Amino acid sequence: MAPPSDSDDSAPIPAGAISKLLIVIAMQTEALPLVNKFHLVEAEESIFPTGAPWIRYHGNYKGLHVDLVWPGKDPVLGVDCVGTVSAALVTYASIQSLKPDLIINAGTAGGFKAKGADIGDVYLASDVAFHDRRIPIPVFDMYGIGTRKTFATPNILKELNLKVGKLSTGDSLDMSPHDESAILNNDATVKDMEGAAVAYVADMFSTPAIFVKAVTDIVDGEKPTAEEFLQNLVAVTAALDKAVTEVMELDTDPTKLKAKPIIKPKVEPCDDDDELPPPPPPASGSGEDWEATTPLAAGNPFFTALIAKSHLHPKFQMWIPPRFQHRLAEPEARTAAVLHSGGKSWATSYCGHLKMKKLDAGWSEFAVDNRLLVGDACVFELVAMGAAGGLEFQVQILRGGLPAEVVTSKGLTSDQPILIVD
């Protein structure tokens, strides 16, 4: 996010840059449909300061790690902690603890009929600003308004039926004459109670953020704002849920997006731990390249790994056997890799530029999510190697070690494949 400039060309989110997504939502009613949709679970231990009522849900959605946070309930009054203060605080704490690659601030908003808004419309905000921070002193007035452009998302706009408009934020549900004047000056189509605060914090820490807002009430309509908001909240939340899901699905379903996906595994820096020796090969190893040549049922090259302490806490690294590395050809550099297992996917990084090549960033989540233990084994089947170097492995997890047919299978051909998983 950046302050306004003479150019409308804000930098798009680069393809291949996202593996950790943070969704910031103001109300429990808005949050729970997404929690259920993405099968997120509430964190057992809070990452937030003691006393903060903020709630975090987390999980993996088709290789993307998702954290969803909302400010919780007021401990005295029991209502949702809405408004800019709570939004700014929970966004700050989440950025510091979770280090997200992208923030989606999803929520409901009021819309302006004069700008073409209608109940149930979903908007992607192009700009955000405050309308209730009035500081009539030169330069301070610009700081109070705090106009910022959001990150450009051309793929979303191309593929989804979302409207685009400017978002104005204030701490009141209704609209005073002063607020109305400021909103008009902001040229806003929708108004909410947290967006600009999330944008302010995200901009401070150089974290890209996008804003998806569903219209619950028509601010310049005939019905009282509070009445219309409560009347439409549940139904409009369903539209919000659908829109956020579609944004996520653009990445996970390639048939929906012909161009490069919006959200892809992040290629993170690799820790060069060459001083740590790789775990020993399986006991059957005789120096021959049996791991790379023994076929599975699919006929793809594969390698095996018997899980040792060095694969797990605290380093969490998976070395690639030297005799298998030539199968990966290029790259001799950091590359995105995806591990598929049990119908789920995890984003990792292949550190091809190191002397001891390995899977690094993201391997820890795979190991923890699948509860790998010392003595278990994994079979890594190379199922795809993209033109740009991206790798995909189908991973079969074998509790308690490798079966005998793998250990003693030298000499088998593709006419006699091994089927490990039924």
Active site residues: 30, 217
Instruction: Decide if 371 contacts 386 (C-beta within 8 A).
Output: no
Residue type, 227: E
Q: Which residues pair with 191 in a beta bridge?
A: 110, 168
> Kind of pairing, strands 122-130 and 163-169?
parallel
320's tokens: 């690639």
C-alpha to C-alpha distance for 194 and 106, rounded to whole angstroms: 10
CB 160 within 8 A of CB 279: no
Could you tell me if 166 and 129 are in contact, meaning their C-beta atoms sit under 8 angstroms apart? yes
End-to-end CA distance of the chain: 49
What is the CB neighbour count within 10 angstroms for residue 178? Answer: 12
List Cα–Cα distances, 92 to 96, 103, 206, in angstroms.
6, 12, 12
The answer to whether 421 and 378 are in contact (CB under 8 A) is no
Q: How far apart are CA 351 and CA 337, in angstroms?
A: 10
Distance of CA 232 to the CA centre of its chain: 28
The answer for residues whose C-beta is within 8 angstroms of residue 103's C-beta and 6 or more apart is 21, 22, 23, 24, 91, 95, 198, 202, 207, 208, 209, 210
311 backbone dihedrals φ, ψ, rounded to 5°: -80, -20
Residue 58: both structure tokens together:
């987390």
**How many H-runs (helices) and E-runs (strands) does the chain carry?**
11, 17
Count of C-beta atoms within a 10 Å radius of residue 260: 12
DSSP type of residue 276: S
Nearest-angstrom CA–CA distance, 109 and 233:
10
The residue written with tokens 């019905």 in the block is: 223
**Residue 62 and residue 72: Cα distance in Å, rounded?**
27
